[in-house]
Amino acid sequence: MTKNKAPRMIEQAAQAALEKKASDLVLLGMKGVVSFTDYFLLCTGASAPQVRAISDSVEEQLRRRGLRPAHSEGYEQAEWVLLDYVDFVVHVFSPRARAYYDLERLWRRAARLPVPEDERPKE
């Protein structure tokens, strides 16, 4: 994936997560903070089935655009699913795991970027 495609793919991942009612979406700019990726997209699912549904939706949406994760883990336990797309990493948490690992605090040097909102479902 070219670097200029990453923002569009992140937007697609965010939209896929929102379609499955993910909450608390946060996009962190990791350039200059870590060497292994440029962005983290974090979100929360209320239950293990919802965490899996969000993860499935993100993978399916990006696969349709020819992008597959280089690595994924945590799907079976569904406490923290990690989908590594090299230029960006999607983290889908249960509420308990999100609070425990607190990646926003751990990576507080990272820039907090706006999550694409133009297509968020209206409540």
d(C-alpha 67, C-alpha 93), whole Å: 22
CATH code: domain of residue 94? 3.30.460.10
DSSP assignments along 45-103, one per residue: -SSHHHHHHHHHHHHHHHHTTT---SEEE-TTT-SEEEEE-SSEEEEEE-HHHHHHH-H
Structural domain contains residue 123 = no
Q: What is the pTM of this model?
A: 0.91
Structural domain contains residue 121 = no
Domain that residue 78 falls in:
3-113
Average pLDDT for runs of 10 along the chain of length 123: 76 96 97 95 98 98 96 96 97 98 96 73 47
Structural domains of the chain, count: 1
Task: Indicate the angle between helix axes 48-63 and 6-19, nearest 10 degrees.
Answer: 140
